[in-house]
Amino acid sequence: MGEQAPSDHTIFNWFREFQRDNFSVQDASRSGRPSTSVNEQTIDAVRKIIEDDPHSTYQQIENILGISSTAINSI
């Protein structure tokens, strides 16, 4: 298959949902705590750190801001 084709796992999930008569294309709501670490203030802080030191590592940014590498990666 081409690079744009959905994965086998995605196709299986679609099939399973179709069997349940769920034809919605909307993402289902998820349980758990919503992300609070990615906001305008944090985004600005990450930008400033990188502008001040373009060689900053994820670990350094994590330590300075107290946020996860996942949050940093999403910025």
Residue of 5, 71, 7, 1 whose CA lies nearest to 35: 71
Q: Report, in this order, helix, strand and coil percent for the chain, each rounded to 5.
A: 50, 0, 50
Name the phi and psi angles at 46, rounded to 5. Answer: -65, -45
pTM of the predicted protein model: 0.53
Contact predicate 71/38, CB 8 Å: yes
Give me the pLDDT at residue 44, please.
Answer: 95
Give me the pLDDT at residue 55, please.
Answer: 96
Residues of the chain with pLDDT under 50: none
Give me the pLDDT at residue 3, please.
Answer: 79
